[in-house]
Chains A and B, each alone.
Chain A
Amino acid sequence: MIILKDVITGYPEGEEFSIPEARFEEGRVTAVIGRNGSGKSTLLRTMAGQLRYRGSIRLDGEECRELTPAARARKAAYLPQMLRSAQMDVQTLVEHGRYAWHGALRRMTEKDREKVERAMERAGVTAYRDRLLTRLSGGERQRAYLAMVIAQDAPMILLDEPTTYMDPGMQEALFRLLRSLAEEGRGIVTVCHDLPQTFSFCDRICVMAEHTLCACGTPEELARQEELLRRTLGVSLKNTGDQELVFPWAVKR
């Protein structure tokens, strides 16, 4: 669980963002939405310990800034938006997900190998485990990185726009994977831009606007705050209730 209280964060000599109070729990998929530059990625980076902050962020009961990078990585895995095409094969990449558990000096254990195998299966990258990242399509690379984050085995997973570069089918598969991870007890926090997808698949949604976290709730609760959505996102949403649709939520005029 990640609990934020009176957090002020941002980049040196840049804008500051405030989060008066927020809680991200295990067993749920929570989306962070908002316009470009609203501070979604900044919030995620701060929770991952990559930015300095004032106030309190507690990861699994411990203050984020007081944890070592490895201890933090065991509690919250983080996947940034920009992913590199490094000269390494997929399996090696996924094995790096175990770094926080065994460090640079110790060898992979049998348990580590099992976690890596399982993560590759779940992300659907086993078939191209020997291929170099530089030879993968954008979507395949994104899935390989997702496998790495799953292998990290942290109770919370923070993803910054994980559907970038994915085709619609792959995006749907990704959201189903996130849902199944949440059902197993992991907490997912993901930055998203596609509102119908977000409202259709996520348990909770937080809205960043005007340099602050201004609302959090279930999709239904937020949809009822039509004025807030129009002010912060420029649109509002409606549940069509059509179960044949992959994304039953739609953007209203």
Chain B
Amino acid sequence: MKKAVIPALVLLASCALALLAGNSAVSAGRTLEVLLGRGSATERLIVLQVRLPRVIAAASAGAGLSVSGFLLQGSLDNALASPGILGINHGAGMFALLAALLFPYQAAARGLMAFAGALLVTALVYFLSAVSGLSRTSVILSGVAVSALCTAVSDVIISLKPETVADRAAFQLGGFASLTVSSVSLAAPVILAGILLAAIFAPAMDLMALGDETAGGLGLPVRAVRGGFILCAALLAAAAVSMCGMIGFVGLLVPNTLRLIRHGRSRGSLLMCAAYGAAFLVLCDTLARLAAFPYELPCGLILSLMGAPFLITTLLRRRKRLGLQ
């Protein structure tokens, strides 16, 4: 219980900061009043219609992508596994492009199509890897092959219809600038449900860390559990990508940083991953909104600029502690 306090406080603090920070000055007290159902119409608009959906979107996307990476890295036994490696991001990107081509004036279509694309690609990768034995290698190779295919199709669309590229660029950088309330209300509950489901079955991941043969000998249905975790990871990533585009790095950064500094049971690590991933993306989005005011930077850029040095520093500190220098 004590271990849960710090991540919970970090998440709460980052969400509070994101709700308070903005171009229009709404004090902490007024923000609290709005959240309690009072406040002026303008304040209610700013807090409830602009900032709050964005905080919920950033928190759920950060949590979803981090847990997705955690599940993939654990079940595929590969620290480099992430939603990107399964082709989920590229599938979502391709379908976002298709949406720009087919429904150019409907912003909500992009999110929905990206979600559908991510799920479709996941189903395809899962089918291909299941046919070839659902081993760690077959899953990753299938993901790489499908990613390449999605990228090629995207390039064909851009070559034939260059006007779709603006949408694609925004989607590739990733961010919450063009967020719609409908995409949040669709994706956030899916992410919450996915994380709860993953947390319930997380102890099975502790056994998988012992290797397939040992885990099988202990009574774990290894292939079924691996398949379930991969599907759950794909669902989480699909929901997140449909809201924020290709912010894939958080799925590598948060689980790997936690793994470097903490050893413990999978359920606790998974929940910490969710809390820190959510807090980190909320902070990145807040910075993206404020760093170059009156312009807004893509959240994906801030994430890479802050996250990459952080991961490198943790890696070097860990190396020193292990006496590897």
Contact = CB atoms under 8 A, between A and B. Distances in A.
B220 interface: yes
Nearest to A50: B216
Contacts of A71: 219
Nearest 8 pairs of A and B residues by beta carbon: A73-B219, A100-B219, A78-B217, A70-B219, A80-B213, A86-B209, A104-B203, A104-B204
Interface in A78-94: 78-80, 82-84, 86-89, 92-93
B161 interface: no
A152 B265 CA distance: 19
The dominant DSSP class at the A interface is mixed
Interface of A: 45, 48-50, 68-74, 77-80, 82-84, 86-89, 92-93, 96-97, 99-100, 104-105, 132, 145, 148, 152, 158
Contacts of A82: 211, 213
B216 A48 contact: yes
Given A72-B219, A104-B203, 9 more contacts: A49-B216, A50-B213, A68-B221, A69-B221, A78-B217, A79-B214, A80-B211, A96-B218, A145-B214
A104 B209 CA distance: 14
B310 interface: no
B207 interface: yes
B160 interface: no
Contacts of B200: 104-105
A92 B265 contact: yes
A73 B218 contact: yes
Contacts of A69: 216, 219-222
B263 interface: yes
Interface string B38-71: 0000000000000000000000000000000000
Chain B CB within 10 Å, residue with most, of A80, A96, A105, A145: A96
A53 to B, nearest CB: 15
Given A45-B213, A80-B211, A84-B209, A152 B221 contact: no
A96 B211 contact: no
Contacts, number: 76
Given A88-B209, A88-B263, A104-B204, A83 B219 contact: no
Contacts of A83: 210-211, 214
A68 B221 CA distance: 8
B186 to A, nearest CB: 29
Nearest to B223: A69
Nearest to B322: A134
22 contacts: A48-B217, A49-B216, A68-B221, A69-B220, A72-B219, A78-B213, A80-B211, A80-B213, A83-B214, A86-B209, A87-B259, A89-B263, A92-B206, A92-B265, A96-B207, A99-B207, A99-B220, A100-B218, A104-B200, A105-B200, A132-B263, A158-B217
B127 interface: no
Contacts of B202: 104
Contact of B218 (A86, A87, A88, A99): A99
Residue among B211, B216, B222, B265 with max Cβ neighbours from chain A (10 Å): B216
A96 B206 contact: yes
A187 to B, nearest CB: 15
Nearest to B265: A92
B264 to A, nearest CB: 8
Interface string B227-269: 0000000000000000000000000000000010001010000
B207 to A, nearest CB: 6
B221 A50 contact: no
A50 B216 CA distance: 7
A88 B209 CA distance: 9
Contacts of B204: 104
Interface in B83-100: none
Contacts of B221: 68-69
Contacts of B222: 69
Contact of A84 (B203, B210, B217, B265): B210
Contacts of A84: 209-211, 214
A135 to B, nearest CB: 11
A83 B220 CA distance: 16
B246 to A, nearest CB: 30
A80 B217 contact: yes
B103 interface: no
A157 to B, nearest CB: 10
B201 interface: yes
Contacts of B259: 87
A46 B261 CA distance: 39
